[in-house]
Chain A
């Protein structure tokens, strides 16, 4: 299946992916209205190594996902390779945050968990971080 991969040699560290992610998942049509003056909780996060190398981290959609196995609410599941959260079932216990080895499940600012769902559930339809990366440092492909 197609997953998101980063090419750190191309990453500018501009964090546009974080903004595009937050916007894509905001449910709003105007980026400025969605994001201006707000603390954002993107599902992709840019990290910086000590030597200055930057790269983005989002859900790996693991073959053997420990978040799904650990969810105490039965809210996380893997469907057609995509690990999804059922927000109707999530109670915000954050066990998934405690177990994800990549730090890819994060609290959404209101107390419940969120993670990259490859923009399958929002109107974007394909990963917004990939579409919006100005230097093609994030790709969506089979490996």
Chain B
């Protein structure tokens, strides 16, 4: 009977458990969970603040998930080291756990740059976990002035979540635009305008230089008074355990298309990894929940002796604020051409290079976008489809009869 061990208990771990069990009903599965909760939907913490969900509904899987899958979860313990010679991991409670196949799903942690006087701030919170969220919820009152450092996905989702719970929300970022990792200037400007119309205040191109108790002195010279500080500058992959064991790590734990690390019988999945993005043909950290699941599942199946690949990963994001949604996927390689249409309430930007759709940014109108995503993921030659019609609207009618027959007349 094979012994499977998973370090971490997030989405990638859930995918790994389901992957293993799709292939091996017998082996033992041990999950090392630093957090004391069963797997939950991490991106839903902002929806919790918004009261669109609650702790119960945030569970990623049914209550019986671990028992159904015969997985033994050790809550509240952390893995300290991997001993690849003995094939065992050591835990912070002194125990060692042997493995035949190991999957590292350690996720990421908030990156907090050194900022002068940060220790003088009483009410400061990262925004990554249920515990962060509950602590933040407790600290915020209807009179609170909230300062959020970081106008990325996490910072802005936090701003939306706190809207209606706090008196004032200010978001600052060193980048000159919001959502700088996924949107370009034009798309970001539309989103920022929409956020501002909903009462979020921005200080962009600047960050806090110094904190003195409840005031932040910005690099621009301005002083922002606040009651609650949220630190959402960014995240870093948790790679130490693999690096210390001699594994290949740069920004993330490097994994191949079966989610193997460079260490024997050690796999990794989720936000702690870096892997190949086919849209830009480069290796990068793509800390995205769908990819985390797909990696975890891929790792699990391969750990259990099956053979599947996850070889068509791309970055992709679906995110909205106060009713304005955006979909982004892929990348904009150098030399790509852009097709654009836009009006006051929507923007569509498609990026094309070498007869392939490499990426897109859509704001405002999200209808059947997955047809575009599939073009990127499948690397479909655009000369083989009616791209002139696809540009106007994603549709199977422009994909050719052979494709249509395959997907509509058969089992896919």
Contacts and interface: CB of A to CB of B under 8 A. Distances in A.
Contacts of B317: 98
A98 B329 contact: yes
A133 interface: no
Interface of A: 3, 5-6, 8, 47-50, 53, 55, 57, 60, 62-63, 66, 69-70, 72-74, 88-89, 91-103, 105-107, 111, 143
Contact of B60 (A48, A74, A95, A102): A74
A74 B41 contact: yes
Interface string B9-26: 000000100000000000
At the interface, is chain B mostly helix, strand, loop or mixed?
mixed
Contacts, number: 126
A49 B408 CA distance: 14
A76 B111 CA distance: 32
A86 to B, nearest CB: 9
B397 A91 contact: no
Given A69-B297, A101-B374, A47 B397 contact: yes
A74 B61 contact: yes
Nearest 9 pairs of A and B residues by beta carbon: A103-B368, A70-B290, A101-B374, A100-B370, A74-B60, A47-B397, A95-B318, A98-B318, A49-B397
B327 A57 contact: no
Given A6-B409, A103-B395, A94 B318 contact: yes
Given A97-B369, A103-B368, A73 B318 contact: no
B394 interface: yes
A48 to B, nearest CB: 6
Contacts of B318: 93-95, 97-98
B411 A97 contact: no
B44 A103 contact: no
Contacts of B316: 98-99
A47 B374 CA distance: 18
B412 A60 contact: yes
B323 A111 contact: yes
Nearest to B18: A69
B386 interface: yes
A70 B409 contact: no
Contacts of A60: 407-408, 411-412
A72 B373 contact: no
Residue in A62, A89, A102 whose Cβ sees the most chain B Cβ within 10 Å: A102
